[in-house]
Amino acid sequence: MVQGVFTCKFDKISKTNYFLAHSLSESTFFLTFGAYDYFRRFIHFVCGSRGSNALNSVEYYCCDRPNPILQIMYLGIIGATYYFIATSSFGYIPGYYLSGLHRYTSFLAVGVGILLFLLTSFSDSGTVNSANVSQYLSAYPYDNIIFTEKECSTCKIPKPARSKHCSICDRCVARFDHHCGWMNNCIGERNTRYFMAFILWHFLICIYGVVALALILAGRLKESKVIHILTEYYGIENSLWALAPHVVQWLLGAYNTQILIMMFLAVVSLLLAGFFAYHAKLCLSNTTTNESFKWHEYLSWQRKVSEAKASAEALKASLDELGQERKPQISKWKAFFRRSRLEELEVVKNNMYDRGFLNNIHEIEQIIGILSVDGTLISSASFFCGAMWHSGCPRM
């Protein structure tokens, strides 16, 4: 949801269906899409059609065309955060609990994060075109459920299984996951590993920042002898509950910048942890965000079909039994229980690409080669699953 709000787009799923599928409240809908709809109405009321057209143009550029707005925002956020940490806290490094080495490791950590950002943003996500479509067609079989053999109406080439045409980038992408506005790029077959490493690394950076700042504050607390002063000169009991309010008050007064940065990093780390856990779950089940939406739509349709069949059969059974002259009351109860059993039929997801938890992990870890069109091996790539979750290459 967070990603959809920032990128302004949910591919292949309507706004209403998305929120119904995830059981979100009306207040959440208002804070995301509803508020924007009211804003559009307000602009139209104040500025008329000219204002609405201008807003539509801005929305089209920001949400429906490739643009670097969120990329610039990311660089601004990480740059500003590092700047405020450096100016407010580097003066206390080295400290009582922190060595001077962290001046350089923090810079290195941010540098690696930006490198992963650049790799994810500017690497090929797995573009499918007429020159390489035969490679991708052999990478995955069609499951004939959510992926069937057909042609892309825009690119005029066969659509490989698990691929999708991105309306923003205007290209077909192999093993399409989603279009990421923060990267201004699609996440697909070839750059999923960078995307996963990017999320994980930035989660670790946030945790590193929180811990480092906490150690700086703990060191300042120790060096300033705050506990000693509170207990010896102010007569405060030497216990956690007695000292905590006074220590927090002192920290907020003397080091409010560090406290605010720690809170910001903690919140961002929670968001990144949830986002990484979601995508890790997808990778370990060998599926994608796009496929999860497709499966939801398919299962919802199948469930409606099953319910319709169950209702029809229950109605037919009721009519048949009501037509009998014997034991009409028992017949009604039989029809009721028969209808209840039919309505409880479950529709099961059958993902043929999921080869089991261990096999999926093995697939992530294994060395995967790239085949040229004529079948000759032209390169291979390997990576460790803890940093690179899924290969960007078609399977042999």
**Whether residue 247 sits in one domain with residue 165:** yes
**Whether residue 302 sits in one domain with residue 241:** no
Backbone angles phi, psi at 68, to 5 degrees: -95, 15
In a domain, 348, yes or no: no
**Whether residue 136 sits in one domain with residue 177:** yes
**Whether residue 306 sits in one domain with residue 367:** no
**Lowest-pLDDT range of 154-158, 215-219, 356-360:** 356-360
Among 203, 228, 211, residue whose Cα is nearest residue 89: 211
Strands 171-173 and 178-180: unpaired
In a domain, 357, yes or no: yes
The total number of structural domains in the chain stands at 3
| Mean pLDDT across 163-192 | 93
pLDDT of residue 184: 95
**Whether residue 250 sits in one domain with residue 174:** yes
Q: Is the pLDDT of residue 391 over 60?
A: no
pLDDT of residue 36: 78
Cα gap 246→5, rounded to integer Å? 40
283 is catalytic: no
In order of 82, 91, 184, 196, 292, the CA distances from 178 in angstroms are: 29, 42, 11, 13, 11
Strand, coil or helix: 184: coil
pLDDT band at 30 (very low <50, low <70, confident <90, very high): low
Strand, coil or helix: 127: strand
pLDDT digits (tens, 9 = 90+) for 148-175: 999 999 999 999 999 999 999 999 999 9
**Whether residue 113 sits in one domain with residue 228:** yes
In a domain, 312, yes or no: yes
The residue segments making up the domain with residue 302 are 296-343
Residue with the two structure tokens 């979601």: 278
Give the predicted TM-score (pTM) of the model: 0.75
Strand, coil or helix: 173: strand
**Whether residue 270 sits in one domain with residue 243:** yes
Element (H, E) at 180: strand 178-180
Looking at 24, 49, 65, the residue that finishes a domain is 65
In a domain, 382, yes or no: yes
In a domain, 144, yes or no: yes
Among 341, 386, 350, residue whose Cα is nearest residue 144: 350
pLDDT of residue 346: 53
Catalytic residue among 47, 155, 166, 180: 180
In a domain, 127, yes or no: yes
Average pLDDT for the chain? 80
**Whether residue 81 sits in one domain with residue 56:** no
Cα gap 337→314, rounded to integer Å? 9
In a domain, 241, yes or no: yes
pLDDT of residue 323: 64
**Whether residue 105 sits in one domain with residue 30:** no
Looking at 35, 65, 95, the residue that finishes a domain is 65
Looking at 15, 47, 65, the residue that finishes a domain is 65
**Whether residue 323 sits in one domain with residue 240:** no
**Whether residue 151 sits in one domain with residue 85:** yes
**Lowest-pLDDT range of 32-46, 106-120, 222-236, 329-343:** 329-343
pLDDT digits (tens, 9 = 90+) for 107-150: 999 999 999 999 999 999 999 999 999 999 998 899 998 999 99
| Mean pLDDT across 354-359 | 80
Asked if 119 and 194 count as a contact pair (C-beta separation under 8 A), the reply is: yes
**Whether residue 12 sits in one domain with residue 92:** no
In a domain, 219, yes or no: yes
